[in-house]
Amino acid sequence: MKPVINRFFSDAIKSFNYYKIYHFIFWIIYIAFWSILIGADVSWRQAIVSASVFIFFHLLVSYFNNYFLIEWFLFRRQYIAYFLSLFLSILLVCFPLAIASYLYVPLSEESISNIWTLQFFIYNFLTILFTVLLTASIKLFRNWFLKEQTNKELQKLNIENELRFLKSQINPHFLFNNLNNLYALTLKNSELAPDAVLKLSNILRFGLYESQKQKVPIDDDIQFVRDYIELEKLRLGERTDIQLNVEGSTFGQMIEPFLFINFIENAFKHGANPSLGKSYIHINYLIDSENKRLIFSISNNKPGALNNLDKDKVGGIGLKNVQTRLNILYPGKHELNIVDDKENYSVTLILQTV
């Protein structure tokens, strides 16, 4: 039943726009408005007839202005030509309006005698000008509104395309690193290789299907990180202290996919460096439901001579991607803090989830 109702309203709106029904409604209301103004001294039938005759000529000038003069002159910034043409159009219509008033409008003898006076022409000139300005204002406002809507849709489309591009940069980088890990295990004929293939399969499944969504459950994103960590543990063994802690309720929480993976990849690249001997990588998720915040933090040690952002070109691209995505997805609703000293490197990302 609901799809039928939605289709009915959709078709009605299309017909409303296609046949310009709103134009007809506007002029009916406008005639009624002038009938009320005129009807103080005459019957309601005479008021409607009089208003209809007058508004017919108002309508002619209004459409001529909206669809010709504005398009020909005003939009082309030919202001003198526009105002001169509008003045002449209103002036010329006043003459047939006077004839129509004499023939069709039920007037008293005194009113008929006033038709060809200067006062009659000035009055009708001003009333026609009022109608023209009113309809032109509606047209210009509608054009502005539609242009704003188009710009918003275009901006939204550009943002979606940019996000797709950023994700396409993230996924190949991530796959490249993990294929290298798997290659190292196969060279050693390690019994851990099948498990590594399974973990990588789970990771790629998440990348192929979940990354197409705008948001995913945070539980799925954390499981993706767990699989990534388990895959790295197969490569690193016991020489790196790897910890993943999750605090707070994840129920119903959603997050953009691949938002944290660049920080994690960067930590494993430098925090698990063989020159460090015993190294560590600590990852923490804090879901603060009361304050509607998600706090992600990661820390690792690193070789003293290495600067993560300057030396690691691939990591630098990843960080830039994350910052760009954050500016798009969380404008004014995120805080990214990076602490980089000689021995340790840490990242804290605070997101306002509402």
The pLDDT score that the predictor gives to residue 141 is 92
State pTM to two decimals.
0.53
The pLDDT score that the predictor gives to residue 295 is 95
What token pair was written down for 345?
Answer: 């490197």
The pLDDT score that the predictor gives to residue 266 is 83
pLDDT in tens, 189-243: 777 778 778 888 887 788 777 766 778 899 999 998 998 888 888 767 777 889 9
In CATH, the number for domain 190-352 is 3.30.565.10
Average pLDDT in the 254-271 region? 83
Position 123, amino acid: Y
Q: Which of 46-50, 51-55, 253-257, 314-318 has the lowest mean pLDDT?
A: 314-318
The pLDDT score that the predictor gives to residue 320 is 74
Domain boundaries, the chain: 2-151, 190-352
Contacts of 239 (CB under 8 A, 6+ apart): 272, 277, 278, 279
Q: Which of 111-125, 139-153, 172-186, 283-297 has the highest mean pLDDT?
A: 283-297
